[in-house]
Structures are given as C-alpha cells and as structure tokens.
Amino acid sequence: MKIHYTLLLAGVCLMGVHSAIAVDMAQGAALAKTHNCLACHAIDKKMVGPAYQDVAKKYKGDKEAVNTLVSKVKAGGKGVWGPIPMPANSPKVSDADIKTLVEWVLAN
C-alpha cells in the first residue's frame, strides 16, 4: 500500500513540474513575440540570428549558461554566431523578461 501511495504522489509531483514547465514555455514564447525576438530568431532554423535549438545545444551542460546569455542579451553581441550583431536589449526589455527568455531558449 505504501508503494502505491508513493508512486501516486510521485506521479502527481511530476504532473505539477510538467505544468510549471509548460507555463514557462508559454510565457517564454509570448515574451519572444512581444519583444520581437522572432524577427531575427526561430526555434528550429537559422535566420538573422541562430536557431534557439542551436543555442540550447551549444550551452547544454554549461552551469553558467543562463548568466552568460542574460549578459549577452542585455548588452548585445557580435561574432559568436556570425558577423551580424545582436543589438542590446536592455533597458528596453526588463531583466526579469530577459532571464525568462534565456531560460526558455535553453529549454528548446
């Protein structure tokens, strides 16, 4: 009986985690649209900037990825993904939105 209860509890917890991730993914997608990130980026193909899936792959396992990318998105950058620079997004985009966007990109 304890095993069944434990498995049921674990399942409920996992459903809660999955729901939280889905909400974050929806919020990230909405922010990307709101802040015009999708004018230069796509999830699965290179446009002006890299595909979000390529960014996620490059930084997979990097414990500093969120901090690194938040800094790059805030200040802008050039040369990592090609010659076309990404303009600075701060202060136009809030720090909280930038962090959410970066976490969303890394989850793709």
Read off the pLDDT of residues 63-73 as tens digits, 9 standing for 90 and up. 999 999 999 99
Closest listed residue to residue 32, CA positions, set 87, 105, 91, 81: 105
Tell me: the pLDDT tens digits for 30-69? 999 999 999 999 999 999 999 999 999 999 999 999 999 9
Instruction: Please tell us whether the domain made up of 2-107 is placed in CATH 1.10.760.10.
Output: yes
Q: How many CB atoms lie within 10 A of CB 47?
A: 11
The predicted pLDDT at position 88 comes to 96
User: CA torsion 25→19→69→77, rounded to 10°?
Assistant: 10
